[in-house]
Amino acid sequence: MSNTENRLRVELCGLELDNPIIPASGTFGYGYEFAELYDINVLGSFSFKGTTYEPRFGNPTPRIAECPMGMLNSIGLQNPGVHSVIEHELPKLKQVFNKKAIANVGGFSVEEYAKTAELLDQCEQVGIIEVNISCPNVHNGGMSFGTDPKAAAEVTAAVKNVTKKPVFMKLSPNVSDIVSIAKACEDAGADGISLINTLLGMRIDLRSKKPVLANKMGGFSGSAVFPVAVRMVYQVYEAVKLPIIGMGGVSSADGVIEMMLAGASAVQIGAANLMEPFICPQIIKELPEVMDKYGIKNLNDIIGGAHNG
């Protein structure tokens, strides 16, 4: 292995990644779609599309809206259901990806989270289970779990009870105190934290004078949310002793470094994938040069570096 590759290696709960770059759930399908564009084995890992126990058609359209420096989405966890994912999607992925993937799990009850996670835990291709307790665009869904420490802890404990693989809880930024939610997840046995999911946003069409999205509100993502994400990763790193996967508006190698200085051990790229499909390999390629620019020998040396002194 070359020295350059060594410099980029990071670890998440025993899972070694060649680099910290991970496409975020909902922006990379089940992986094999992007394999038609480039060799996805260059990635550290990727988080596949949010998966629920039953198939979901998702929210009514329109469910995407553009914004300056970002986008709104109200997809509503559209997916074929966990059984179909295991039977059809993962075998297709295995043909093009020889690393462990991150399984993103959605749910509408504690029992449903546990049932879905238990099934994905048995999949050889899954290295980490990422539990989305923060999706802000599903009626009566994830948001209620992710905004209450007690409910967040309940989901964490239920999933940990039926899984052996590392469990990362993906938190909602739509709260006044992100630290209390993260600590509740840590106390309930979480192995790591993923943050942030989308902020809650809205656009109104000036001609029709009605909300652009059929669901009225949706998840706001893109470069505009980056400072919020950096702030929350920084706060959670101070409060818990768990590895963090940071995300939210990252679209450059500089952004990756900043997120890691705030406390992230790995970084997910979300909305940027939808605008520039080659963004992840591009960032991986640029990282060594950007590290040299800032005098960084190894990425592990800078995790949480902004907290020193």
Task: Tell me phi and psi for residue 18, to 5 degrees.
Answer: -65, -25
Q: SS in 3 state form for 243-284?
A: CEEEECCCCCHHHHHHHHHHCCCEEEECHHHHHCCCHHHHHH
123 as an active site residue: the answer is no
Say which of 123, 135, 185, 280 is annotated catalytic: 135
Instruction: Label residue 14 exposed, middle or buried (CB < 10 Å: 0-12, 13-18, 19+).
Output: exposed
End-to-end C-alpha distance for the chain, whole angstroms = 34
> CA dist 276 to 27, 67, 158, Å?
11, 16, 37
How many CB atoms within 10 Å of residue 113?
27
- Omega before residue 166 within 30° of 0, cis: no
Closest CA to 93 of 6, 198, 160, 23: 23
Quote the CA–CA distance of 47 and 59 in Å, as a whole number: 21
Query: Residue 298, Cα to own-chain centre: how many angstroms?
Result: 23
Quote the CA–CA distance of 173 and 69 in Å, as a whole number: 18
121 Cβ partners below 8 Å, 6+ apart? Answer: 129, 162, 163, 164, 165
Instruction: Give catalytic residues, as residue numbers.
Output: 135
